[in-house]
Amino acid sequence: MKKALQSIVLLGAATGAAQAATSVTLYGLVDGGIGYEKVKITQSATRFQGESWAEVRNSGMLNGLLNGNRWGLKGTEDLGNGTSAIFQLESGFDLGSGHAAQDGRLFGRKAIIGLTGDSWGTLTLGRQYNVADDVVSGIDPFGTGVGQAGVTSGAFGDSPSARMDNSIKYMTPDFGGFKFGVAYAGKHSKESTFDAADPRGHKVENTSKKDTSNWVSLGLGFENGPVSLGASYDRFRTELRDWEQRRVNGRIVDEKETYNKSTTHMWNLFGAYDFEAVKLHLGYGQIRGALANVKGVSGIGLNGALAEFTEVTIPGTLGQPAVVRNYTQTKGFRQQSWMAGLSSRVSDTGTILFSYQGNRSKNTNDAFDGMRGRLNIFSLGYVQDLSKRTRVYAAASYGVGKMKFDESRDRGNVTLKSTLVGVGLQHRF
């Protein structure tokens, strides 16, 4: 009997040790509010037509205004020698409808597995954010939330925080306040078909498709005392090749090849300094190159609404058909963005946020000569913590943009006005 009791005690101790070494956590964020959104785009009169306009207005419940709604699972297992196995699965959803976000993906926000160690860093595989999200996006007063007030939906676009599919990412540990990261997402695939449709072999079709596109993301961050700095660089290279050949009686009757190659560069430099009474935030970024094929980077922020009015027909080359493109979708696209903001703790539980964002954009391609875009966004917010997990907030943001055209194009200038006002409640679990 005594030996049996000893065995039970030892078994319980071993189970407790295993539980201490392995953990799985269910977590999430629920955010909803009431507010008003309005975006109006107006094109001034030309000699061919009068004024035209488009308007989108929404009032009532707002979904995930301060931060996007999500739930997830994350876990870690101690492997010894300071190394642990980790995983994280995170799903976004619409609070108002209950539908999945990120185009209905089960774990659209993040899905990773990897290893981490205090002495050597963290290595992860899967769908995850680029390095800019780790070192740049958090320096903005509004982060990536609050709609157009945030760094991604405002003047900068997705480059400070974008998701990379099928990626591998490495982040160093903290070295005296410094941390460095690199990520890579590439697709090297080739498909070939051979079809001899005629039993006599008189007709032959031969096709091949090749995709060697890739995405490289780099970032360096520094945080020590009142100083926070972040720099990031993303390069996306598109390289697609399609080839098709048809033969009849051994003779080539049709042969065509399409080749799409372009490179897009995106970089950002952000910094903040905490003066105790108030914290100053500054940021600058550039995008150079076509966004049409940059998977994971869906646009250029609020200024993208103006791009719909810049479509032109680009003549085909090397046997390729003509295509309709707006000025963000060819390699001559250029955008410069900047941000200046302030945040201040007015009490132990309350924070005021303010930011100004602006950008200028153009395209050096001859087809878009004379087109110039500009944008300015002013945002104000307040966050009040009710507890460690629950907070209320209020935010207001106003943006105004303009797209100017060369007089020879017979297009009136396009103006944009965007307003966002809302209050909400957020709970984390």
Q: Residue 369: give its domain's CATH number.
A: 2.40.160
Q: Is 320 domain-assigned?
A: yes
Position 199 confidence tier, pLDDT thresholds 50, 70, 90:
low
Q: Is the pLDDT of residue 9 over 60?
A: no
Selected residue with higher pLDDT from 12 and 86: 86
Which of 43-47, 68-72, 258-262 holds the top average pLDDT? Answer: 68-72
Nearest-10 Cα torsion for 318, 321, 327, 330: -30
Q: Is 207 domain-assigned?
A: yes
**To which residue do tokens 């998977």 refer?**
295
Distance between CA atoms of residues 377 and 155, nearest Å:
8
Distance between CA atoms of residues 157 and 373, nearest Å:
14
Q: Is 8 domain-assigned?
A: no
Report pLDDT for 56: 85
Position 32 confidence tier, pLDDT thresholds 50, 70, 90:
very high
Q: Is 104 domain-assigned?
A: no
- Give the chain's domain count: 1
> 129: which 2 tokens?
């954010």
Residue ranges of E strands in 275-332:
279-288, 312-314, 323-325
Q: Is 16 domain-assigned?
A: no
Report pLDDT for 405: 85
Which of 50-59, 239-248, 362-371 holds the top average pLDDT? Answer: 362-371
Report pLDDT for 250: 67
Distance between CA atoms of residues 287 and 152, nearest Å:
13
Q: Is 387 domain-assigned?
A: yes
- What domain range is 175 assigned to? 37-69+119-428
Q: Is 228 domain-assigned?
A: yes
Selected residue with higher pLDDT from 290 and 65: 65
Which range, of 68-77, 290-299, 367-376, averages the lowest pLDDT? 290-299
Position 10 confidence tier, pLDDT thresholds 50, 70, 90:
very low
In percent, the amount of the chain with pLDDT more than 70 equals: 87
CA distances to 37, 142, 285, 334, 398 from 149, rounded to whole Å, are 12, 6, 16, 22, 8
Q: Is 101 domain-assigned?
A: no
Q: Is the pLDDT of residue 264 over 50?
A: yes
CA distances to 256, 313, 315, 414 from 321, rounded to whole Å, are 11, 10, 7, 29
> 17: which 2 tokens?
């040790």
Report pLDDT for 311: 84
**Average predicted confidence (pLDDT) for the chain:** 87
